[in-house]
Amino acid sequence: MLNTRSSRFFTAQNYSLPLSTASAITFAFMQRFLILFLLVITLGACRNNTEKPTDMHAEDPHSFARPQDAAVTHIDLDLKVDFATHVLYGKATLQFDNKSGTRKLHLDTRDLRIDSILLDGVQKTTFELMPSQPILGSGLLVDVLPETKSIDIHYATSPQAAALQWLEPEQTAGRKHPFLFTQSQAVLARTWIPLQDSPGIRFTYSARISCPAALMAVMSAENDTSLHTDGVYRFNMPQPIPSYLMALAVGDLQFHAYDSRCGVYAEPVTMPVAANEFVDLPMMISAAEELYGPYAWGRYDLLVLPPSFPFGGMENPRLTFVTPTILAGDRSLVSLVAHELAHSWSGNLVTNATWNDFWLNEGFTVYFESRIMEKLYGRDYADMLTVLSLGELQKTVAEMGNEHPDTRLYIDLTGRDPDEGVSDIAYEKGRFFLLNIEQAVGRERWDVFLNQYFKNHAFGSITTEMFLADLEKNLIQGDSKLRNIAIRDSLWVYGPGLPTPFPKVHSAALDRVASAASAFIGSGTLPDTAGWTTHHWMQFLRNLPADLGKDRMAALDRAFHFTDSGNSEILCQWLELSIRQGYAPANAALDAFLLRVGRRKFIKPLYQALCDQPAGKERALALYTKARPAYHAVSVQTLDVMLGYVPK
Ligand code: BES
Ligand code: ZN
């Protein structure tokens, strides 16, 4: 880790207050006291009227920022990308609105080296970097004047910055050039930019990025799609976004356009497959717009990353980042694109105010994703995906335990890593809650509500309480019978487990696959797989029992070549089954998969399955030790804990 403090700067331990600062703090304290007092009064009043407050400021337990005092409104970055040292360095200019006339601007940083800070581009100022905390990093307190409009922060990132993954050429598809990408959600933006790292704070941004001349830089902003021979790229993001949507990637990239507003970036060797996989993108965007209103962000492009990308997708505005593991060749995994696209409304336009409200981002998005899939590919197809997801949700709840506090939609993550809230609960229990409302009020009314919801809260943030108040005001409107069927927030939002009655979903196609699986288990009859897509196969594999036996495994492999599957979802499911069955012919494929792919959703269950086998922990650790250097910090963080890995 970098030494982020130096004797030149004030430190938390030896800091003595200048008189003016002391009185400013007293003032700030009194002001906070007053705000608190007013809040208590308001809350009391609300309770009497049985109305919930809708626009009070939500405290974010994962940020040191104090937006009620001073809020960042625009960031201009001027950064150099140094592949030799794995460092980004340069300057971030933060414009801010000093609402309270404060003399301290509170920012978030983690593992940053802060070199100097200037007020309004001219006057050097002092600052204090607080001692680093494990997840939150170091608060950066900058001495500003009530009239200060902007600060220039000269800084450098650490080679270990958790948001950044620096890839060697061998880790890319083309194997010729290095690659860099960022992953800022949830609280990692602060590891590459000093800023107010809270989803409740929005700002616009611009950037000048210089990188090696052979490479292309792209950001979650206006991109001009062509290679610049001088290696200098300029970006502009005119719509205000929360910090977790800051994104940058640099690599050997090409662009392929589908129409005038959407296309895909990929490495040249990946492009033929990538360009073909997402041809439905223009239709998808139109379908989303027909559902919930105009797309607000100008262009919508995709960026296909190298396989170490720890997620399936990340909804960086204007430029969704996706894993190459969705390139199945038959367009069967594009629901992930529908998901990231849907975030352009749920998440990017209307944003969870804190990570405690994360289910608002993801639950809405899974619901919206499903509506897009239905519109494009029909009800049966969408139902198939929903039924598969329900299976996952039930499995997750069973594993966590029906009474586990983290099976509630609203989770207080104070003092915890927001990553701990990322589970099927936020995504799937969230989606089924919304589906429950849809089924109770009818689609027509529900869609009217949602259209209004996205319009009313556009470019704003929302808490769980605000959403529930919105539901009451604009949908339930005092109808207690309806409220009791549709909402029951004490069960859905604040209660653990899965409520009953639960929304009904059904897929005749998957029922037939389940029967085919039973027949195979019973008599060894191979299924008639004519017309099967990825999701039929998933259902089939998931229906096979833990004691299927190696002969049946071998028969399946002979007939369907699972071990050689190029479809990551099918392969991963098959590999997990193979581990549990002790089916050795898949071992080499497992090793190769774990060494190449870093997508957490895939590798976590595989390592878990290994650990569940007698003496499997050693094999897991041996493989992990080899693969770990190529994994992103996000996956490493999860697997280190799971495997009890202690870095040397
Ligand atoms: N925004 C998430 C990814 C994320 C969540 C990153 C929390 C960091 C913290 C993204 O939209 C997402 O949900 N991705 C999913 C795919 C989706 C189809 C469920 C993933 O990566 O698996
Ligand atoms: Zn998502």
What's the pLDDT tens digit per position in 143-171?
999 999 999 999 999 999 999 999 999 99
Pocket test for ligand 1, best of 362, 419, 424, 600 (most atoms within 8 A of CB): 362
Q: Which residues pair with 210 in a beta bridge?
A: 80, 232
By mean pLDDT, which of 1-5, 244-248, 595-599, 618-622 is the weakest? 1-5
pLDDT at 28 over 80: no
- For ligand 1, the distance from its centroid to the CA atom of residue 376, given in whole angstroms, is 22
Q: If pLDDT is split at 50, 70 and 90, which confidence band does 631 have?
A: very high
* Nearest residue to 262 via CA among 228, 225, 230, 217: 225
Rounded distance between C-alpha atoms, residue 151 and residue 140, angstroms:
13
Rounded distance between C-alpha atoms, residue 365 and residue 346, angstroms:
6
Q: If pLDDT is split at 50, 70 and 90, which confidence band does 10 have?
A: very low
Residue 21 confidence (pLDDT): 38
pLDDT digits (tens, 9 = 90+) for 376-400: 999 999 999 999 999 999 999 999 9
Pocket test for ligand 1, best of 284, 314, 396 (most atoms within 8 A of CB): 314
C-beta neighbour count of 368 within 10 angstroms: 26
Which atom in ligand 1 lies closest to the alpha carbon of residue 244?
A: 8
The ligand whose atoms approach the alpha carbon of 315 most closely is: 1
- State yes or no: cis peptide before 186, omega within 30 of 0: yes
Residue 489 confidence (pLDDT): 97
Q: Give the tokens for residue 139.
A: 């608060």
Residue nearest to atom 22 of ligand 1 (CA): 312
- For ligand 1, the distance from its centroid to the CA atom of residue 362, given in whole angstroms, is 8
pLDDT at 56 over 80: no
Q: Is 340 touching ligand 1 by the criterion CB < 6 Å?
A: yes
- For ligand 1, the distance from its centroid to the CA atom of residue 184, given in whole angstroms, is 12
Which atom in ligand 1 lies closest to the alpha carbon of residue 311?
A: 21
Residue 23 confidence (pLDDT): 42
Residue nearest to atom 20 of ligand 1 (CA): 312
DSSP states of 487-512 as a string?
T-HHHHTSS-S--SS------HHHHH
Q: Give the tokens for residue 200.
A: 């409740």
Q: Is 604 touching ligand 1 by the criterion CB < 6 Å?
A: no
- For ligand 1, the distance from its centroid to the CA atom of residue 632, given in whole angstroms, is 15
More confident residue, 38 or 610: 610
For residues 280-304, average pLDDT = 98
Phi, psi angle pair for 374, to nearest 5°? -65, -45
Q: Is 632 touching ligand 1 by the criterion CB < 6 Å?
A: no
pLDDT at 434 over 90: yes
pLDDT at 50 over 90: no
For residues 537-565, average pLDDT = 97
pLDDT at 12 over 90: no
User: Contact 84/211 with Cβ under 8 angstroms?
Assistant: no
The ligand whose atoms approach the alpha carbon of 428 most closely is: 1
Residue in the block written with tokens 């005119």: 238
User: Contact 387/471 with Cβ under 8 angstroms?
Assistant: no
Which atom in ligand 1 lies closest to the alpha carbon of residue 418?
A: 9
- For ligand 1, the distance from its centroid to the CA atom of residue 60, given in whole angstroms, is 21
Q: Is 323 touching ligand 1 by the criterion CB < 6 Å?
A: no
Q: Is 266 touching ligand 1 by the criterion CB < 6 Å?
A: no
pLDDT at 488 over 80: yes
Q: Give the tokens for residue 483.
A: 């409220």
C-beta neighbour count of 22 within 10 angstroms: 11
**What is the set of active-site residues?**
340, 427
Residue nearest to atom 17 of ligand 1 (CA): 336
Hey, what domains does the chain have and what are their CATH numbers? 70-273+301-325 (2.60.40.1730), 350-494 (1.10.390.10), 531-643 (1.25.40.320)
SS3 content of the chain, % helix, strand, coil (to 5): 45, 20, 40
For residues 11-26, average pLDDT = 35
Residue 55 confidence (pLDDT): 38
Which atom in ligand 1 lies closest to the alpha carbon of residue 601?
A: 22
Which atom in ligand 1 lies closest to the alpha carbon of residue 422?
A: 7
Beta strands in 389-524 (DSSP E): 460-462
Q: Is 317 touching ligand 1 by the criterion CB < 6 Å?
A: no
Phi and psi based region of residue 66 (left: phi greater than 0; alpha: psi -120 to 50; beta: remaining) = beta
Average pLDDT, whole number, for the chain? Answer: 92
Rounded distance between C-alpha atoms, residue 549 and residue 319, angstroms:
45
- For ligand 2, the distance from its centroid to the CA atom of residue 515, given in whole angstroms, is 32
Q: Is 567 helix (H, G, I), strand (E, B) or coil?
A: coil
For residues 415-430, average pLDDT = 98
Cut 0.75: pTM above it: yes
DSSP states of 37-78 as a string?
HHHHHHHHHHHHTT----SSPPP-TT----TTT-EEEEEEEE
pLDDT digits (tens, 9 = 90+) for 299-353: 999 999 999 999 999 999 999 999 999 999 999 999 999 999 999 999 999 999 9
Residue nearest to atom 6 of ligand 1 (CA): 185
Give the containing element (helix H, strand E) for 399: helix 379-400
Q: Identity (one letter) of the amino acid at 309?
A: F
- For ligand 2, the distance from its centroid to the CA atom of residue 369, given in whole angstroms, is 9
Residue 57 confidence (pLDDT): 57
Beta strand pairing call for 313-314 and 300-304: unpaired
Rounded distance between C-alpha atoms, residue 593 and residue 143, angstroms:
50
For residues 499-514, average pLDDT = 98
Q: Is 313 touching ligand 1 by the criterion CB < 6 Å?
A: yes
Q: Which residues pair with 191 in a beta bridge?
A: none
Residue 46 confidence (pLDDT): 37
Residue 224 confidence (pLDDT): 86
pLDDT at 16 over 90: no
- For ligand 1, the distance from its centroid to the CA atom of residue 302, given in whole angstroms, is 15
Rounded distance between C-alpha atoms, residue 323 and residue 307, angstroms:
6
* Nearest residue to 583 via CA among 624, 546, 529: 546
Give the containing element (helix H, strand E) for 249: strand 248-251
- For ligand 1, the distance from its centroid to the CA atom of residue 365, given in whole angstroms, is 10
Which atom in ligand 1 lies closest to the alpha carbon of residue 634?
A: 8
User: Contact 528/516 with Cβ under 8 angstroms?
Assistant: yes
Q: Is 606 touching ligand 1 by the criterion CB < 6 Å?
A: no
Q: Is 576 touching ligand 1 by the criterion CB < 6 Å?
A: no
Q: Is 185 touching ligand 1 by the criterion CB < 6 Å?
A: yes
- State yes or no: cis peptide before 629, omega within 30 of 0: no
Pocket test for ligand 1, best of 220, 245, 311, 569 (most atoms within 8 A of CB): 311
pLDDT at 33 over 70: no
For residues 54-67, average pLDDT = 81
Q: Is 631 touching ligand 1 by the criterion CB < 6 Å?
A: no
State what percent of residues in the chain have pLDDT above 70.
91
